[in-house]
Structure 1
Amino acid sequence: MPSLPELMHRTFFRTLSLLSPRGQAVVLRRYFDWWHRSPDPWKLSTDDYEQHKYRSTLECLPARPYQRIMEVGCSEGVFTETLAKTYPEAEITGVDVSERALERARARVPENGRVRFLQADILTHQVEPRFDLVFCSETLYYLGRHDRLHRASDQLSALLAPDGVLVAVHPWPEARRLHRFLDGHPSLSRLTERVYTTPPRPFTVAAYGAKPA
Structure 2
Amino acid sequence: MNTNQPHTLSPGYFEEVYRANEDPWNFETSPYEREKYAASVAALPRAHYAHAFEVGCSLGVLTEQLAARCGHLLAVDIAAAPLEKARQRCANLQQVEFRQMRLPEEFPTETGFDLIVLSEVGYYWAAPDLARAAEKLLAALVPGGQLLLVHWTPPVHDYPLTGDEVHAFFLDQTALGGSLRHLHGFRRETYRLDLLEKV
Could you tell me which of 21, 25, 35 is aligned with 2:17? 35
1:65 is displaced (CA, Å) by: 2.3
* Distance in 2 (alpha carbons) for counterparts of 1:92 and 1:63: 15
Paired with 1:175 and 1:122, the residues of 2 have a C-alpha distance of 18
Could you tell me how far 1:153 is from its partner in structure 2? Answer: 1.7
SS where residue 36 of structure 2 aligns? helix
CA distance, structure 1, for counterparts of residue 112 and residue 105 of structure 2? 16
The offset of 1:50, in angstroms, is 0.5
Aligned counterparts of 2:121 and 2:80: Cα–Cα separation in 1: 16
> 1:118 aligned to 2:99?
yes
Which residue does the alignment assign to 2:191?
A: 203
Q: For residues 77 and 98 of structure 1, what CA distance do their matches in structure 2 show?
A: 12
**Aligned equivalents of 2:92, 2:169: Cα separation in 1:** 33
Residue identity opposite 1:136 in structure 2: L
Does the aligned pair in 2 maintain the 1:72–1:135 contact within 8 Å? yes
Divergent runs of 4+, >4 A:
none
Once the two structures are superposed, the pairs formed by residues 72-91 of structure 1 within 5 Å of their partners are 72-84=55-67, 86-87=68-69, 90-91=71-72
Q: Is the 8 A contact 1:111 1:117 kept in 2?
A: no
Which 5+ residue runs of structure 2 have no aligned equivalent?
155-161
Aligned residue pairs, count: 186
Instruction: Describe the superposition over 1:91-134 as per-residue Cα deviations: whole angstroms up to 9, x where unpaired.
Output: 11111000121111111112764211011122123342221111
How far does the alpha carbon of each residue in 1:128-150 deviate from its partner, in whole angstroms, 9 at most, with x for none?
22211111011111112x22222
- Per the alignment, residue 120 of structure 2 pairs with 138
2:149 matched residue in structure 1: 168
Sequence identity (%):
33
Q: How does 1:1-213 map to 2 (within 5 A)?
A: 14-17=5-8, 28-37=10-19, 38-84=21-67, 86-87=68-69, 90-110=71-91, 113-127=94-108, 128-144=110-126, 146-172=127-153, 174-185=162-173, 186-197=178-189, 202-211=190-199
Alpha-carbon spacing, 1:107–1:193, altered in 2? closer, same or farther (3 Å): same
Alpha carbons 1:172, 1:195 under 8 Å: kept: no
Structure 1 unmatched runs, 5+ = 1-6, 18-23
Provide the secondary structure at the position in 2 that maps to 1:15.
coil
Task: Please tell me whether the aligned partners of residues 122 and 156 of structure 1 are also in contact (alpha carbons under 8 angstroms).
Answer: no
What letter is aligned with 1:123? P
- Secondary structure at 1:155's aligned position in 2? helix
* Residues 34-92 of structure 1, C-alpha deviations (whole Å, 9 max, x = no match): 211232121101100000100111121123421111110000111111122x32x6211
Query: Does the 8 Å CA contact 1:71/1:134 hold for their aligned counterparts?
Result: yes
